[in-house]
Structure 1
Amino acid sequence: MTSRIIKIGCGMLALAAVTLTAFFTAGSGKDLSHLVTNSVSHSICTAAFVSRIDPEQMFKEEQLPNMRSVGWAVRFHVDPDLHEVRATVLGMFAARAVYREGLGCVLVHGEEPVPDAGGFRDSPIASAFPESAVVEPKDPALRRALDAAFAEPNPATPRLTKAIVVLHDGQLIAERYAPGYGPETPIWGHSLSKSITNALIGILVHQGKLRLDQSAPITAWAAPNDSRHAITIDQLLRMDSGLPFDETDSVLNPMSRMFFLENDMARYAATVPLAYAPGTTWAYSNLSYVLLGRIAMNAAGAGDAVAAERFVRSQLFAPLGMRNALIETDLAGTPVGSSHVYASARDFAQFGQLYLDDGVADGQRILPEGWVAYSHSQTLSTGYGAGFWTNLVNEGKVPVWDAPWGLPQLPKDMFYARGALGQYIVIVPSERLVVVRLGVSIYGGTGVGDVVAQIIAALHQQPVTP
């Protein structure tokens, strides 16, 4: 059982409590406070029950830096018997996240019963890697590259790298983990999940259940006079559907409202009006990938969270040997295809290998022929493809974020999955290389481009063996 209580001076506490209570109970302050407690309860739930790492450490590394002004007022409690976490601010705005076996954690807005509360158990997935021990490279140059990945050049803005895995020619040649993490630790992939969703759509296209050029089968958009009626699955994957850029500096942006304030994320996403004409403007879209998660599950005939998880496990995770992977759903049973996949670094590396091998795993075609090329083909004039980032644009910045499109230190054919807090799956076809970097890099810079460049240099220097 874990509880968090921060003690400060009683006078300061009383003054701050009066000020913050007035703010939190007025107008948008209510939404902000619920956003805080929901974010904390979900993060701590996944730390305690999915990743099985120290919840206190996760709070300090992931949550506290983003809420310095109110962090002292946040309380959370981990109940190992009920498999849930509750969080409050000043004793108010209670939030609850519940762990379900095999399904991860789900936010519950209130005390209503939790669908599929018992979760489910499935046959264990055989690992793609027979090695149980951590593979430390013997080559000094490769070891130095891993040293660079875990270095902390500026203590004021820690990178907090948690895992690095390197595959070359499909072989695990190097890996390293932070204390408390290891080859079996599922780590929150954040927007690496969008690339997983790309694969789920690809599987359903391969099965003839979806087409890229079809109008997105979303009931709320079905009326022919609806401006969203003609949006295609391709446009949702490419983020040029016309939906707004939803991950902005504003705390109450569409992404945060969807993740932390809604029981049915896909229903909410389907209500958001267009900001642009479809096919004309690229805008980063979590909304699109939550909708794609629902589209995929409808096409697969998966009507609830358990059926959704079984589909993903049987069609993707099991064939790739991703034994520690899961995708969380919301209360409505929709897989959160934008952001809620958890997997070990080895699992994510094996997923990257699928794309390096043109959608084939262990001799079995998982994705349609040409799907990988489609996935990293350019969208409009951007450095984005369809569920993956590319290295095709080295000028200009990503709109709103003011961040570079690619990793200019690396070959032009490189493409990659990228998630918040510095999650990366870097795929370099010309080098037959996959590098996964996972961490809790709140402050941005991870040095991942330089690290992969060092790994490539080490491979060119001499043959590398584990």
Structure 2
Amino acid sequence: MLKPSLLSLALLSCSFSVLALSPPPQSEPYIGTADNLYGLSAQEQAPTYRNMNFLYPTRSVAAGGKPLVLRTSAEELPVSYAVDGKDINTDVFMRRNQVAGLLIMRDGKILVERYAQGNTPDSRWTSFSIAKSISSTLIGAAVADGKIGSLNDEVTRYVPALKGSSYEGVSVGQVLDMSSGVKWNETYRDPKSDRRQMFNAQLAQQPGGIVAVMAGLKRIHPAGSTFNYSTGESYLQAEILKGATGKTSSAYLSEKIWGPLGMQTPAFWQLESPNGTEIASSGFSATLRDYARFGQFILNDGVINGKRVLPQGWVASIADVSPESHLYPGKLYDGEYDLGYHKQWWILPKGDKATAEHGDGAFSAVGIFGQYLYINPAKKTVAVVWSTWPEPEVERSEKETFAYIGAAIKASE
């Protein structure tokens, strides 16, 4: 069973094709190789995470002409939380959890901003599965544009290559909730797993290869009844967007958000093949402050300079999951874990299990090795965390990351 907080890329052991891309900068001598991304040494992790465009084909996401200025506090917010009776401050939190970038922002003002492991304000860091939540936001923008009629529309309306497959009758919303009922095995050391087949298709660098894998899957549950974490379904978001708008995810993100919002730096997104479709489930890279600007856009209900980009109620609906739903916090894995899931975001504990620091309605994008984009509308807080954990999933660091963010919220009140 895979834990929802970092889930599924923990056991990857497949080979990448070595692509003829530009050599990495000489100032970064320890960049790893594409075939060992999930088994990098501690020395290789940070240089590799900020230079993914030298390992894979990517597409640029154009930024705006004038960056949105973020307000900063005159002094850094003092933050501490307790571990085994000892107070842990920001310095110790970062050392204990291999944090490479940290930003806490409340009411649009930066209260904590730190860089480590060679990062600077200009470094672009890989998202891992944070990209899933960025991709679902683009689906919301396409709904607001009228390009996608409704989340109830069938996936095959926008991805004709899935016609006749198990995705017949599955809605766009059910894909966003990873509740299609289609069988998917996210185990990486099994060469026969679905995730490995998706990766093999990506390695082949042939357009349409991943969709072909998805079209070959079988249905095992009624659509909308069961949650099953699927990186393949997250990838389908890029195909849905392309079919609905005629545009790539990078172009649409630039047009709707990255440009109008005033990002400081062009981002880049890993592709299925050279000049192909974005890997909507991973491979997105941006600066620390630009991730925070994106988080503030979500916190602002998807509105930029008075113009609505996301549908009214889209952001509020992310954490608005009925206790009867199979997606409600604590139900995804037989009650063992308290996170819920909706629209490609993880929902923090709600109701009686909600903590005073986080309150109700907080949600987060989460990537392996310790990447977080945390949104708390009630507390008007955005947090961005970059890390180089030694393993894709480190339970102690997961807990401490949310504890640190909660302590920052408490300290800022």
Q: TM-score, normalised by structure 1?
A: 0.67
2:367 aligned with 1:419, yes or no?
yes
Question: For residue 187 of structure 1, what is the aligned residue in structure 2?
Answer: 125
Q: 2:145 aligns with which of 179, 185, 207?
A: 207
Secondary structure, aligned partner of 1:418? strand
State the alpha-carbon separation in 1 of the partners of residues 237 and 200 from structure 2.
Answer: 19
2:297 aligned with 1:344, yes or no?
no
Question: For residue 374 of structure 1, what is the aligned residue in structure 2?
Answer: 317
State the alpha-carbon separation in 2 of the partners of residues 45 and 376 from structure 1.
Answer: 41
Structure 2: give runs of 5+ residues left out of the alignment: 1-11, 43-50, 82-87, 333-339
Secondary structure, aligned partner of 1:430? coil
2:382 aligned with 1:441, yes or no?
no
Deviations along 1:301-355, one digit per CA (max 9) or x if unpaired, are: 12xxxx5532221112112233342222211721111112111121111111122
Deviations along 1:7-32, one digit per CA (max 9) or x if unpaired, are: xxxxxxxxxxxxxxxxxxxxxxxxx9
**Aligned pairs for 1:66-77 within 5 A:** none
**Aligned pairs for 1:11-410 within 5 A:** 35-38=14-17, 41=18, 48=24, 54=28, 56=30, 63=37, 65=39, 97=55, 99=57, 102=60, 125-129=65-69, 137-141=75-79, 145-152=89-96, 159-210=97-148, 211-216=150-155, 217=157, 218-223=159-164, 226-248=165-187, 250-252=189-191, 253-262=193-202, 263=206, 264-302=209-247, 308-322=249-263, 323-331=265-273, 333-378=276-321, 380=326, 381-382=331-332, 383-392=340-349, 410=358
Deviations along 1:171-222, one digit per CA (max 9) or x if unpaired, are: 2222001132112211110111111111110011001111200111232432
Q: TM-score, normalised by structure 2?
A: 0.75
Higher RCO by CA contacts (8 Å cutoff, separation 6 or greater):
2
State the alpha-carbon separation in 1 of the partners of residues 251 and 166 from structure 2.
Answer: 35
Q: Would you say how many aligned residue pairs link Structure 1 and Structure 2?
A: 357
Question: 1:240 Cα shift?
Answer: 0.3
Q: Which amino acid aligns with 2:379?
A: E
Secondary structure, aligned partner of 2:385? strand
Structure 1: give runs of 5+ residues left out of the alignment: 1-31, 69-79, 86-96, 104-121, 153-158, 396-404, 461-466
Provide the alpha-carbon RMSD of the alignment.
3.6
Question: 1:359 Cα shift?
Answer: 1.3
Question: 1:151 Cα shift?
Answer: 2.2
State the alpha-carbon separation in 2 of the partners of residues 288 and 344 from structure 1.
Answer: 26
With over 3 angstroms needed to count, the CA separation of the structure-2 counterparts of 1:125 and 1:241, relative to structure 1, is farther
Question: 1:46 Cα shift?
Answer: 10
Question: For residue 84 of structure 2, what is the aligned residue in structure 1?
Answer: none
Secondary structure, aligned partner of 1:389? strand
State the alpha-carbon separation in 2 of the partners of residues 420 and 208 from structure 1.
Answer: 34
Give the conservation status (yes or no) of the 8 Å contact 2:181–2:222. yes
With over 3 angstroms needed to count, the CA separation of the structure-2 counterparts of 1:53 and 1:246, relative to structure 1, is farther
Q: Mark the structure with the bigger radius of gyration.
A: 1
Give the conservation status (yes or no) of the 8 Å contact 1:409–1:449. no
Secondary structure, aligned partner of 2:375? strand
